[in-house]
Chains A and B, each alone.
Chain A
């Protein structure tokens, strides 16, 4: 009946908070709490027990709950309203204005002419070879990086939640790349991929692998993937660590008792239970990779010969270098819609696979 675990959790905490005791007469409790209590006890009662707290106190539950709800709402509003205000002014309103701009042809200066062109910007966009190419690069880049970031992030997370002695040091070291801004990271790696690689190649004679990666279209894309992975994997690791640490010990222990090995426990017990973390991590990496700009800008600048120009960079060039504000804005709208569709599809797909305890 109550499959939503969050709801049960809320009931539990509320009960504890209000100082319930299991000795209390059931008929004073609202019906649904009784049911869920019963249900909980039926499944795995010993996991959480209601503490026997001082029994008799004069209160009336419905009134308390009502009061709590009201003040809760006020608190929610207190924390949410400033955010809503900021979000509206810096995201929603500019977004709506942007939709308007996508129907005009304009160079961005208020005193210069704006002409309404209707859907022309959108029509041109699909025959824009360079834009379509950049979409292809973005897709390739995102697919590979999302895979790599998650696999490596998860591997990191598993290794630093085990019995590793230096796990705290390892965690902070793996997380550090995320703290360096993408732009700076790009410049650092640019130096590595050109100067350092060339020097290594000259010294060791391994010129087939150690050459200036950024001059070769495919290797330049690979370089982007390496840097993006290096940056994001540590961050994703943190989310997985969180997920792994909140796995219920008893289930894993039960699996061990039943004779499951490490890999069996990993694939059949841990991963299904980690699904909520997968949802978050996949969503974050997908949307981040699609929208990647800073590394693109500083590492390759879209080169060589546009082989690594991602969609965000293409839009940036269209608007800020070529001064085609309206057309670039139309591209941005299409970009937004496609990213939204892809990430929503992913979220609904992984959500379905989440299991409830």
Chain B
């Protein structure tokens, strides 16, 4: 009798466990299946929907809820506030997913790959958006497309797919009380400046150990100085040209040698120290962009600063472009796609949207008719350069994916820790491009 009771109890426990397991997977499975179904049906209808979209756009009911996922960590709080305002104005709920920034692209790719992608997301225009081309919706029918500053929107096959966030520019961010920009115009004057500062016990020019601040941005300059930077990258990857045969790169290598000789080893400096040293007057100039102004806030620097060109081969322009664009997920349901487009339209055309873009996000206007009176000095100087048209492009966005972290950084680390010559350095960089472009 006892035995039977025991047996029954065991069986009951087992049954309970099993049912828990089964319901556990059952419900999640059911959900994902439902999800899949809606996605499948949507992906089947997408071609029709896009065909029809031009005529029946207004008949399409927009979804009541969409998801926004984007990489710019600095504006996350403001974006959430914007989502609240958007909901109260239009009744559409926009959920903002958080990210830590560093692994944004991987997270995005995983989510897109699992068909659980956000409706609106951000990417760097160039190699990144090229890779995910199949996931980008044609946004040419948004009302403000015509007003976007020339060459700033991301276009694929003649169609606008990416709406620019803002402009960013980088070059030598310099302390006006220590450096006279008009006197640093070529290699010789640059080296003189470094020597003078070193004598005065000040670091004349500083890079920092983070991948783009170490090599990505500074290597952008000789690329941008080529007549057709994109074609040059293709030839470089194909092994048809080598950097050591291109004059701008040879001079770039001389600059790097001078930096190695006269400044503090950038591998010992991180972004915080680099900006901190600059703000406290221990560094006369740093290779940075307008984004770093936020880093100076805590220091209240008592000097004026500006951005000047890095004078490689007499260059007199700073590199200005769009770091990030908004995209709409083409694999979302037509309703969601419509809701995503509505959100972008609202952001770039409504009063509240403009307030957020300019005041809250602190963006430099990329759409004619918008103005931002509250720009910080560095952003103002980027904006001025952009208005004057004296700007370099960002060919670094077209470099093979992952090259900066995986290939360029190690080569640069070797350059700064050994006595390799500039020419050897150029050869290592060239090899990196050939290798990464395979």
Interface residues of A (CB under 8 A from B): 67, 71, 74-75, 77-78, 81-82, 85, 107-112, 194, 198, 212, 215-217, 302-306, 317, 320-323
Q: Give, as a whole number of angstroms, the nearest-CB distance from A223 to chain B.
A: 14
Q: Give, as a whole number of angstroms, the nearest-CB distance from A187 to chain B.
A: 11
Since A215-B268, A215-B417 are in contact, a sample of 18 more A-B pairs with Cβ atoms closer than 8 Å, ordered by chain A residue number, is A67-B3, A78-B10, A81-B21, A108-B113, A109-B109, A109-B113, A109-B132, A110-B113, A110-B115, A112-B134, A215-B267, A215-B413, A304-B414, A304-B417, A322-B401, A322-B402, A323-B401, A323-B402
Chain B: CB-nearest residue to A86: B21
Chain A: CB-nearest residue to B105: A320
Comparing B310-318, B340-348, B404-412, the segment that makes contact with chain A is: B404-412
Q: Give, as a whole number of angstroms, the nearest-CB distance from B263 to chain A.
A: 15
CA–CA, A305 and B214, complex, Å? 13
Write out the residue numbers on chain A whose beta carbons fall within 8 Å of the beta carbon of B109.
108-109
Give the A-B contact count at a CB cut-off of 8 A.
80
Q: Which 8 A-B pairs have the closest CB atoms?
A: A321-B402, A111-B134, A305-B414, A304-B413, A322-B402, A306-B410, A305-B410, A305-B413
Write out the residue numbers on chain B whose beta carbons fall within 8 Å of the beta carbon of A110.
113, 115
Chain B, 97-120, CB within 8 A of any chain A CB:
106, 109, 112-113, 115
Q: Give, as a whole number of angstroms, the nearest-CB distance from B172 to chain A.
A: 25
B interface residues, how many (CB within 8 angstroms): 36
CA–CA, A321 and B265, complex, Å? 26
Contact B265 A215 (CB under 8 A): yes
Contact B410 A107 (CB under 8 A): no
State whether A321 and B413 are in contact (beta carbons under 8 Å apart), knowing that A71-B10, A109-B132 are contacts in the complex. Answer: no
Write out the residue numbers on chain A whose beta carbons fall within 8 Å of the beta carbon of B417.
215-217, 304-305
Write out the residue numbers on chain A whose beta carbons fall within 8 Å of the beta carbon of B6.
71
Contact B134 A74 (CB under 8 A): no
Contact A317 B410 (CB under 8 A): no
Chain A: CB-nearest residue to B14: A78
Contact B3 A107 (CB under 8 A): no
Q: Assess whether B135 is interfacial by the CB under 8 Å rule.
A: yes
Contact B406 A321 (CB under 8 A): yes
Contact B268 A322 (CB under 8 A): no
Could you list 13 examples of A-B contacts with CB < 8 Å?
A78-B10, A108-B109, A109-B112, A112-B131, A215-B267, A302-B410, A303-B409, A304-B267, A304-B413, A305-B410, A317-B406, A320-B106, A323-B402
Chain A: CB-nearest residue to B405: A321
Contact A78 B13 (CB under 8 A): yes
Q: Give, as a whole number of angstroms, the nearest-CB distance from A306 to chain B.
A: 5
Contact A109 B401 (CB under 8 A): no
Chain A: CB-nearest residue to B115: A110
Write out the residue numbers on chain B whose beta carbons fall within 8 Å of the beta carbon of A112.
131, 134
CA–CA, A194 and B267, complex, Å? 10
Write out the residue numbers on chain B whose beta carbons fall within 8 Å of the beta carbon of A322.
400-403, 406, 436
Contact B268 A111 (CB under 8 A): no
Chain B: CB-nearest residue to A322: B402
Contact B14 A77 (CB under 8 A): yes
Q: Give, as a whole number of angstroms, the nearest-CB distance from A126 to chain B.
A: 16
Most-contacted residue by chain B among A198, A216, A217 (CB, 10 A) = A217
State whether A111 and B135 are in contact (beta carbons under 8 Å apart), knowing that A75-B10, A215-B268 are contacts in the complex. Answer: yes
CA–CA, A323 and B438, complex, Å? 11
Write out the residue numbers on chain B whose beta carbons fall within 8 Å of the beta carbon of A198.
268
Chain B, 1-33, CB within 8 A of any chain A CB:
3, 6-7, 10-11, 13-14, 17-18, 21
Write out the residue numbers on chain A whose beta carbons fall within 8 Å of the beta carbon of B21.
81-82, 85
Chain B, 241-289, CB within 8 A of any chain A CB:
265, 267-268
CA–CA, A325 and B18, complex, Å? 36
Chain B: CB-nearest residue to A110: B113
Partner of A109, one of B17, B131, B410: B131
Write out the residue numbers on chain B whose beta carbons fall within 8 Å of the beta carbon of A305.
410-411, 413-414, 417
Chain A: CB-nearest residue to B114: A110
Write out the residue numbers on chain B whose beta carbons fall within 8 Å of the beta carbon of A320.
106, 402
Write out the residue numbers on chain A whose beta carbons fall within 8 Å of the beta carbon of B414.
304-305
CA–CA, A111 and B414, complex, Å? 38
Q: Give, as a whole number of angstroms, the nearest-CB distance from A313 to chain B.
A: 10
Q: Give, as a whole number of angstroms, the nearest-CB distance from B142 to chain A.
A: 23
Chain B: CB-nearest residue to A217: B417
Contact B10 A323 (CB under 8 A): no
Chain B, 411-438, CB within 8 A of any chain A CB:
411, 413-414, 417, 436
Write out the residue numbers on chain A whose beta carbons fall within 8 Å of the beta carbon of B112.
109
CA–CA, A317 and B408, complex, Å? 13
CA–CA, A198 and B273, complex, Å? 14
Q: Give, as a whole number of angstroms, the nearest-CB distance from A206 to chain B.
A: 18
Write out the residue numbers on chain B whose beta carbons fall within 8 Å of the beta carbon of A82.
17, 21
Q: Give, as a whole number of angstroms, the nearest-CB distance from B436 to chain A.
A: 7
Write out the residue numbers on chain B whose beta carbons fall within 8 Å of the beta carbon of A77.
14
Chain A: CB-nearest residue to B110: A108
Contact B131 A78 (CB under 8 A): no
